Structure 1
Amino acid sequence: MHQFPIRVYYEDTDLAGIVYYANYLKFIERGRSEWLRDLGIDQVVLKREGMVFVVRRVEADYLAPAHFDDHLSVESQLHEIGSARIAMRQSVIRAGKTLFSALVTLVCINDAGRPVRIPPALVAQLTQN
């Protein structure tokens, strides 16, 4: 499981002083990007090679609010991998309590926007512990 720390800034909150719901999607996007980086996967290089991962589906549950100046952790874990897609389980945690959880499905596409197989070497990187 990969962990990425986040601090809640004023800009992340709404009029009620809680994290605006759409910002959780930004938080988990950052968590996925850092997970890939920590696995040694350079998304810029992937793009040059003609492939990118795009979000196909998000199933999200908002369980409890986060507030200004909270210290959060985004936890990301590979759930499933197919020939052209991966599914990730991601959570936003504060002091051991899950505030937000999501199942995110990503598809690997080429420059034309068509799904492509994830190369075996990339699958090996994605599945390393």
Structure 2
Amino acid sequence: MSDRLTGRLGVRVYYEDTDFSGRVYHASYLRFLERGRTEWLRGFGFGHREIAGATGVVFAVRRLQIEYLAPALMDDLLDVETRVSDVRGASLAFRQRIVRDSRELVTAAVLVAAIRDDRPARIPDSLRRAIVQGAA
């Protein structure tokens, strides 16, 4: 994953992220992926609070497919890579991976829905334009 639509976030594994064996607990990866998507959004100049305040739109995970390929361990430094793979009317599709030293540990396909007042809503035009310009 390497282009202007791809965000990268470094994450250190702490004790709280692990299970009794010292390996990253499976649910901790979900938090890492969420942080990756949040920082990806910030990379386009948008924050969740800003979008919600200006447009009433919030984002919620609608579908998540994840594969755990190899474990991460306490004190590891991981890279969370986030790339938008599709922009639809009311959703964004992401491909994400978590790597350590170029070794792929986790892959995920995530569909995030834009919601306003508990109903699907169009992705704000300003965000859509920023993504499209990033792809150019």
SS at match of 2:30: helix
Aligned residues: 128
Verify: 1:37 aligned to 2:42, yes or no.
yes
CA distance in 2, matches of 1:47, 1:109: 10
* Amino-acid identity (%): 43
Shift of 1:42: 1.9
CA distances 1:56-85 after superposition (whole Å, capped 9, x unpaired): 000000000000000100000011110000
**TM-score, with length taken from structure 1:** 0.95
CA distance in 2, matches of 1:54, 1:126: 18
Cross-structure match for 1:86: 92
Question: Structure 2 residue aligned with 1:69, among 54, 72, 75?
Answer: 75
Q: 1:1-129 alignment to 2 at 5 Å?
A: 1-48=6-53, 49-110=55-116, 112-127=117-132, 128-129=134-135
Report the more deviating stretch, 58-67 or 36-45: 36-45
Moved over 4 A (4+): none
- The answer to whether the 8 A contact 1:41-1:125 is kept is no
Mind listing any 5+ residue stretches in structure 1 that lack a counterpart?
Answer: none
CA distance in 2, matches of 1:24, 1:55: 15
- The answer to whether the 8 A contact 2:38-2:47 is kept is no
Mind listing any 5+ residue stretches in structure 2 that lack a counterpart?
Answer: 1-5
SS at match of 2:120: coil
Shift of 1:124: 1.2
CA distances 1:26-74 after superposition (whole Å, capped 9, x unpaired): 0010011111111101211111121011100000000000000001000
Cross-structure match for 2:3: none
SS at match of 1:4: strand
CA distance in 2, matches of 1:116, 1:126: 17
SS at match of 2:65: strand
